Amino acid sequence: MSNPLDARGKGLEEEYFHRKNQEAIEKLREKMRLAAQAKEAGTSSMKCPRCDGGILKEIFIEDVPIDTCDQCAGVWLDSGEMEKLTKTDIARWFRSLWARME
């Protein structure tokens, strides 16, 4: 015979984990919604790793997306972006970058 308390405990445990899974799904949906809004606005959903307060804005230099901070003017490159930029004329790249930062 099975113990009715064990069945009740198992049911409560399943309910608890179901609720936790639903909360996690809602957090992920909210995060995805914020990322989509930021992409539409031309900004990133990430904060600047240097000043931790600025929002990263994506600009294009030589068709390569670069993240720049709106507060500290930090420039952040994702994986492979520096290699793409160094294949172009580097002096022209820097002139273009500084012209956009001003």
Express each pLDDT in 36-51 by its tens digit.
Answer: 777 776 665 677 888 8
Are 85 and 93 in contact by the 8 Å Cβ rule? The answer is yes
Bigger pLDDT: 100 vs 10:
10
Please count the CA atoms within 13 angstroms of the CA of 36 that sit on its side-chain side: 6
Are 90 and 83 in contact by the 8 Å Cβ rule? The answer is no
Check pLDDT > 90 for residue 82: no
Supply the pLDDT for residue 96. 72
Supply the pLDDT for residue 44. 59
Check pLDDT > 60 for residue 1: no
